[in-house]
Amino acid sequence: MVALNYETKHIGKNKFSRPGYKLFPVKAFVLHYTANHGGTAENHFSYFNNLKGRYASAHIFVDRTKSLEIIPLSEVAFHANERKEGPLIPSLKATAGYYPGGNANLNTIGIEMCMEKDGTIHPDTIARTILVIQKLQKQFGVLPIYRHYDITGKRCPAPFVSDEKLWTKFFVDVKKEDDELKFSSGTLKKEWETFLGSKAQREIAVKAAVEAGYSANWIKNFEEGKAENGDVAALAIGALIKANK
C-alpha cells in the first residue's frame, strides 16, 4: 500500500513554466507521463525551475516515493495545449487576453506520472497518482479525469494510450478506493459519455467494472438511473451501457 507523501515545493515564477496566471475554476484533471527515462519528481522540479526556451510544466509530479506539487493549484501550468483549434473536449476550451487561442490549460490541473528507466510507469506511481486524484477531488469536486491524449491527441501518458485497459482500470480504481466521494450532476454524466465515446472503450469499461467487483445488479441499477449516491464510476458505467445498446 503506497502513501500519498504529498509535498509542496513551488518553482520560481518563470514565463516558460510558471507564468503566474490565475487558474480559472477547475473543470478537470489531466494525466500525463514525463516520457523522461528514470527522472524523479525532484528531477522535474529542478528542470522546470530552470526552464528556458520552451513552454512546458505541470502542477504535480508523482514518482515511486512521493508526490510533489511544483506549481500552486491556483495558477496555470503549460501541459495540455498543442492544438491551435483548441482542445478535443470542447467544454474545456477557455480563453484569456494573454492566451487567446482557446485551450485547456486555463481550467485544468496537470498531473505527471514519472517514468521508470525501462519506459514503464511503476505500479506504486500509478497507485500514488490515484491518491493524488482523490485528494484533488476533495478539494475541487469529483471532476472528470482525462488523459492528455483525450484533450489534444498527444500520446500521453503513452502506456495509458497503448493499453486502454490500464486507463480504464485507473479511473475505476479512483472510484473504488474512496466511496465517500459523491456528486450529482448531469453535466458530469455528459462528460463521461463523451469520454466513453467509443464502443471498444465502453466494453473495456464494463469489463473493468465487473473485474473491480461491481455486481451485475449494481450495474443494472445505475443503468436504470438509480444512481443513489451518484458516484462517478456508476454514472460512467450506466451511461456507457445505455450508449452501447
Among 44, 148, 169, 202, which residue sits at the site for Zn ion (rule: CB under 5 A)?
Answer: 148
When the beta carbons of 27 and 148 are compared against Zn ion, the nearer one is 148
Q: How far apart are CA 131 and CA 126, in angstroms?
A: 9
- Residues contacting Zn ion: total by CB under 5 A: 3
CB of 154 to Zn ion, least distance (A): 6
Decide: is 104 part of the binding site for Zn ion (CB under 5 A).
Answer: no
CA 232 to chain centre: 14
Residue 44 near residue 61 (C-beta atoms within 8 A): yes
Q: Which is nearer to Zn ion, 66 or 155 (CB)?
A: 155
Longest dimension (CA), the chain: 55
- 32 is an interface residue for Zn ion by CB under 5 A: yes
Q: What share of the chain is helix, strand, coil (3-state, %, to 5)?
A: 40, 15, 45
Minimum separation from the CB atom of position 135 to Zn ion (A):
20
* Region binding Zn ion by CB under 5 A among candidate stretches 146-154, 166-174, 190-198, 201-209: 146-154
Segment contacting Zn ion by CB under 5 A, of 3-11, 86-94, 140-148, 183-191 = 140-148
Stretch that binds Zn ion, among 81-89, 93-101, 145-153, 204-212 (CB under 5 A): 145-153
Q: Who's near 213: CB < 8 A, 6+ residues apart?
A: 176
For Zn ion, the closer of residues 93 and 176 by Cβ is 93
Tally Cβ neighbours within 10 Å of residue 199: 11
Q: Would you say 11 or 30 has its CB closer to Zn ion? A: 30
**Exposed, middle or buried, 240 (CB in 10 Å: 0-12/13-18/19+)?**
buried
The whole-angstrom separation of Cα 102 and Cα 75 is: 17
Residue 33 vs 45, nearer CB to Zn ion: 33
Question: How many residues belong to the chain?
Answer: 245
- Select 51 or 156, whichever has its Cβ closest to Zn ion: 156
Q: Does residue 156 touch Zn ion according to CB under 5 A?
A: yes
Give the shortest CB-215-to-Zn ion separation in angstroms.
35
Contact between 21 and 76 (Cβ < 8 Å): yes
Residue with cell 478506493: 177
Pick the stretch among 94-102, 143-151, 158-166, 223-231 that binds Zn ion (CB under 5 A).
143-151
The residues binding Zn ion (CB under 5 A) are 32, 148, 156
